[in-house]
Structure 1
Amino acid sequence: MKTFTPKPADLSHDWYVVDASDVVLGRLAAQVATLLRGKNKPTFAPHADSGNHVIVINASKVALTGNKDGKVLYAHSGRPGGLRRDSYGELMQHNPERIITTAVKGMLPKNKLAKVQLTRLHVYAGEDHKHQSQQPTEFKITQVSQQAK
């Protein structure tokens, strides 16, 4: 029996909505990375781009465990003196999308395919998103934060 290799005609990019309310950041990022890579499909191949579009809503309500409010997220612009430090506490108020995007990016493979798959991630701080016309399927994460209970 030959090994199945997906061809470009076999690849489809489905749309999923994930609600981040009271979900631990690491668990959310792991599930979203799996959807972005397409590992939930039986036709998954690591070299083929069979990933899905993922919409994450309520990013401002994601649960951070431990003492992560003081943890610092670094970014560099590439210019001299361009190092930027933002604590998770500040980012949760001003730009919670960046926290989720960075966590998901760290769980994707480090190759050219990951950059393409990360463009299919759409993160929104609130409940509203502009992708209603794609008719996304709701993806439920069952394990929520213990602190939320």
Structure 2
Amino acid sequence: MRQTTFTKPAEVERTWYVVDGAGMTLGRLSTEVASVLRGKHKPTYTPNVDCGDFVIVINADQIVMTGNKLETKKYYNHSGYAGGLRTRTARVMKENYTVEWVERSIYGMLPHTKLGDRMRRHLFVYTGSEHPHAAQKPVELKIKG
């Protein structure tokens, strides 16, 4: 008789991955990173358990967007007060708020629940090629595109 096995939180083994964003397209990078953060690349994936790995994204300032999206795509924030809507283009986000730009792209592909909040803590984004996680011995994650 076959039986479905469910991973328990104590049984999860986490790996550290580093992704070089130089020349990568934002959407293609984000989908792969979100999949690794969720743990969907593992055969022991369980939807209701945080079984994903840690991901470090370096060279975030060299990530690109295709087409005319830098001018047309808009990011919105609202303070909650009347007239408190702030709008920024993708070009402004890339130039001035690079880390937030990449994080928002990846966060949007994770669950918007308490489980997703835990997964978000496993993402680290840096603009340069240096990161302070050398002690964790991250493995390079190859992403096409």
After TM superposition, is the score higher than 0.5?
Answer: yes
> 2:98 aligned to 87, 90, 96, which one?
96
Match of 2:143, as an amino acid?
I
C-alpha RMSD of matched pairs (Å): 1.4
Partner-residue secondary structure (3-state), 2:88? strand
AA in 2 matched with 1:135: K
Residue 29 (structure 2) aligns with: 28
Deviation, structure 1 residue 81: 4.0
2:5 is the alignment partner of 1:11: no
The alpha-carbon deviation at position 128 of structure 1 amounts to 0.9
Paired with 1:77 and 1:29, the residues of 2 have a C-alpha distance of 27
Q: Tell whether 2:122 aligns with 1:142.
A: no
TM-superposed CA distance for 1:80, in Å, is 4.5
% identity of equivalent residues: 43
Match of 1:76 among 47, 65, 78: 78
**Cα deviation, residue 76, structure 1:** 2.4
CA distances 1:61-86 after superposition (whole Å, capped 9, x unpaired)? 11101111222211223444432222
> Once the 2 structures are TM-superposed, how far is the Cα of residue 88 of structure 1 from its aligned partner?
1.2
Alignment partner of 2:87 out of 80, 85, 88: 85
SS at match of 1:69: helix
| Equivalent position SS for 1:36 | helix
TM-score by length of 1: 0.89
Partner of 1:122: 124
The worse-fitting range, judged by mean Cα deviation, of 40-49 and 85-94 is: 85-94
Q: How far apart, CA to CA, are the structure 2 residues paired with 1:130 and 1:77?
A: 33
Separation of aligned partners in 1, 2:117 and 2:17? 19
TM-score normalized with structure 2 length? 0.91
- Once residues 80 and 54 of structure 2 are traced to their aligned partners in structure 1, the CA distance between those partners, rounded to angstroms, is 29
Task: Encode CA deviations 1:73-115: one digit per residue, 9 max, x unaligned.
Answer: 1122344443222211112211111111111111112322111
Farther-moved stretch of structure 1 (106-115 vs 119-128): 106-115
How far residue 14 of structure 1 moved from its aligned partner, in angstroms, is 1.4
Gaps of 5+ in 1: 144-149
Summarize deviations over 1:21-60 as a string: whole Å, max 9, x none.
1111110000000010011111101011101111000111
Determine if the alignment matches structure 1 residue 37 to structure 2 residue 34. Answer: no
